[in-house]
């Protein structure tokens, strides 16, 4: 079948909407008719080359849609089901999957690095040449073939444009706070970068019962969003050293948890420098592959500080996404407020330009 899809041919280029060929799903695979694709900074990192991706590829890793067809042996979904594709495939049987760490699955990493499905081939092509799958899900396509292990059924009444956000921004941000850092009630938190993912770290901290939640960004517009998501204090890093400002807000002590949701060495170091003794800094932002960050070892030892990272919200999506849906239904998790703009698919490059200008909380393209 044919489908319109946003292809990245080379680093440095914008997305090119082309009519690609999509093969039928094979055994254990699911064909999804995509309804909405989320506009995440990680795709932009792929376009700029910060994130190394096998090209040409159909980008997009946040999305939601309806099952159009299934290959032999698929049991967990059927045509007509509403689903979210999970951008880190998990095999279910390896050491990491068995340990409740599906985001660390080697099979998922293999798909991510090669741009091919687990059998080593692709279901997309253009003029007979293979087009790669980004993160195994390629949500910027009217139709995408995804392994069953990366497809999660969701309730049909959930609006698909909002459901899409659960698949990356929400699970990554909330998960970093709840699964990785395990933020405790009454604690103090700083979040560097309050874009689509960072706002979810802010609301994750609110849901976890943090008492002080400081949002740091360069744009007042983003800080206003952050207040709606639960920030108790805001710091504009364009107006002076953010570390000094965060420390001042905690009476000099520093915070219990810091989240870096930008992907810059400078802000990773700033997040670390905001910590109190025994504090934990979690890096969520994606940097170029070779980036290094130095921290003073003395503070690791004498203050027992922790510096770590979180991929895909350190989550178990099949357990965590249904919980997030319950929190949305209860009015606790803000999804409607997160979706500040919707673009028709053909305006996808404009959607990315708006992300770069920092205009939106999160946007989606709709098909």
- Residues that bind ligand PAD in the complex, under the rule CB under 6 A: 40-42, 45, 168, 172, 192-198, 216-219, 222, 237, 261-264, 267, 284-286, 310-312, 355, 358
The CB density around residue 75, as the number of other CB atoms within 10 Å, is 8
**Which among 311, 192, 308 is positioned nearest to 245, based on CA atoms?**
192
State how beta strands 124-126 and 129-133 pair: antiparallel
Residue 20 vs 262, nearer CB to ligand PAD: 262
Class of residue 237 by CB neighbours under 10 A (exposed 0-12, middle 13-18, buried 19+):
buried
**Rounded CA separation 118/204 (Å):** 33
**Rounded CA separation 285/269 (Å):** 12
Render the burial of 278-311: b for 16+ CB within 10 Å, e for the rest.
ebbbbbbbbbeeeeebeeeeebeeeeebebeebb
Active site annotation includes 61: yes
Q: Choosing among Zn ion, ligand PAD, none, which partner's interface includes residue 312 (Cβ < 5 to 8 Å by kind)?
A: ligand PAD
Q: Which stretch binds Zn ion (CB under 5 A): 46-54, 78-86, 163-171, 355-363?
A: 163-171
Q: Which of 41, 45, 82, 133 is catalytic?
A: 45
Active site annotation includes 42: yes
Closest distance to Zn ion from the beta carbon of 100 (Å) = 21
**Rounded CA separation 3/8 (Å):** 15
Q: Which of 97, 105, 168, 274 is catalytic?
A: 168
Instruction: State the residue number with the nearest CB to ligand PAD.
Output: 195
User: Tokens 């899900």 appear where?
Assistant: 137
Active site annotation includes 50: no
Residue 294 vs 298, nearer CB to ligand PAD: 294
Q: Choosing among ligand PAD, Zn ion, none, which partner's interface includes residue 232 (Cβ < 5 to 8 Å by kind)?
A: none
**Rounded CA separation 186/164 (Å):** 31
Q: Which stretch binds Zn ion (CB under 5 A): 96-104, 168-176, 181-189, 227-235?
A: 168-176
Closest distance to Zn ion from the beta carbon of 41 (Å) = 7
Active site annotation includes 168: yes
Active site annotation includes 40: yes
Residue 254 vs 285, nearer CB to ligand PAD: 285
Residue 20 vs 216, nearer CB to ligand PAD: 216
- Contacts of residue 134, defined as CB under 8 A and 6 or more positions apart, other chains included, come to 8, 43, 46, 53, 57, 58, 59, 60, 61, 115
Residue 122 vs 363, nearer CB to ligand PAD: 363
- Contacts of residue 263, defined as CB under 8 A and 6 or more positions apart, other chains included, come to 41, 45, 50, 285, 286, 287
Q: Which stretch binds Zn ion (CB under 5 A): 45-53, 134-142, 164-172, 174-182?
A: 164-172
Closest distance to ligand PAD from the beta carbon of 316 (Å) = 14
Query: Looking at the annotation, which residues are catalytic?
Result: 40, 42, 45, 61, 168
Q: Which residues bind Zn ion (CB under 5 A)?
A: 40, 42, 168
């Amino acid at each position: 079948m044919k489908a319109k899809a946003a292809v990245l041919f080379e680093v440095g280029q914008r997305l090119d909407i082309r009519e690609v060929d999509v093969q039928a799903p094979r055994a254990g695979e699911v064909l999804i008719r995509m309804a909405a694709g989320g506009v995440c900074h990680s795709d932009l990192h792929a376009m700029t080359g910060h994130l190394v991706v096998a090209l040409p590829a159909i980008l997009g890793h946040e999305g939601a849609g309806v099952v159009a067809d299934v290959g032999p042996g698929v049991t967990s979904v059927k045509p007509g089901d509403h689903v979210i594709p999970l951008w880190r495939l998990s095999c279910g049987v390896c050491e990491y999957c068995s340990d409740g760490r599906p985001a660390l699955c080697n099979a998922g990493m293999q798909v991510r690095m090669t741009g091919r499905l687990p059998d080593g081939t692709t279901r997309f092509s253009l003029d007979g040449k293979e087009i790669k799958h980004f993160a195994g899900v390629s949500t910027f396509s009217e139709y995408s073939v995804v392994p069953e292990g990366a497809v999660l059924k969701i309730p049909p009444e959930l609006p698909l444009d909002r459901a899409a956000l659960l698949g990356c921004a929400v699970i990554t941000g909330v998960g970093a706070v709840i699964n990785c850092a395990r933020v405790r009630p009454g604690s103090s938190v700083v979040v560097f970068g309050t874009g689509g993912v960072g706002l979810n770290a802010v609301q994750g901290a609110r849901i976890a019962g943090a008492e002080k939640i400081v949002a740091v960004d360069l744009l007042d517009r983003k800080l206003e969003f952050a207040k709606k998501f639960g920030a108790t204090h805001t710091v504009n890093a364009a107006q002076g050293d953010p570390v000094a400002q965060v420390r001042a807000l905690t009476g000099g002590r520093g915070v219990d948890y810091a989240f870096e949701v930008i992907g810059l060495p400078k802000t990773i170091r700033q997040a670390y420098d905001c910590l109190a003794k025994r504090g934990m800094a979690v890096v969520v932002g994606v940097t170029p592959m070779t980036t290094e960050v130095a921290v003073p070892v003395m503070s690791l030892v004498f203050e027992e500080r922790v510096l770590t990272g979180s991929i895909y919200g350190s989550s178990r999506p099949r357990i965590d996404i249904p919980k997030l849906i319950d929190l949305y239904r209860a009015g606790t998790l803000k999804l409607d407020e997160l979706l500040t703009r919707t673009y028709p698919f053909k305006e996808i490059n404009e959607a990315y330009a708006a992300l770069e200008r920092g205009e939106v909380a999160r946007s989606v393209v709709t098909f």
